[in-house]
């Protein structure tokens, strides 16, 4: 299961931390900053070739991030799926999922 955590949050860590915010540490971000970063991340999340991931992959990446953040290793006590602070981020993800569906992708 640890491998799944790494695979699911790697795109976020690469995009958000290493490229855009090189001095930030995913594990130490506040809820508010994490929510802001996730809103942008969901909209820009694409495969290496520029193609969108499937809708289910987007949902799995969010679930993987949530599992990683709430794991014993990190110990966050909030859920990026259910916490009201992440409402805007989740709306951003839902908008991206709708866009993918309308484009005819899975």
Cβ 93 vs Cβ 37: under 8 Å: no
Crossing angle of the two packed helices 87-102 and 55-69, in degrees rounded to 10: 160
Per-residue pLDDT band at 5 (split at 50, 70, 90)? very low
Residue 97 structure tokens: 């999922």
DSSP one-letter string for 78-104: S-TTT-GGGHHHHHHHHHHHHHHHHTT
Tokens 């955590």 -> residue: 5
Assessment of whether the complete model's pTM goes beyond 0.75: yes
pLDDT digits (tens, 9 = 90+) for 40-77: 888 888 887 888 889 998 998 899 889 888 999 889 99
């Amino acid at each position: 299961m640890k491998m799944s955590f790494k695979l699911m949050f790697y795109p976020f860590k690469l995009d958000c931390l290493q490229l855009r915010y090189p001095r930030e540490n995913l594990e130490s971000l506040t809820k508010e900053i994490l929510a802001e970063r996730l809103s942008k991340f969901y909209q820009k999340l694409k495969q290496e070739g520029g193609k969108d991931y499937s809708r289910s992959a987007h949902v799995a990446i969010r679930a993987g991030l949530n599992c990683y953040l709430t794991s014993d290793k990190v110990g966050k006590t909030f859920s990026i799926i259910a916490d009201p602070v992440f409402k805007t981020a989740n709306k951003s993800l839902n908008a991206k999922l709708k866009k993918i569906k309308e484009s005819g992708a899975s």
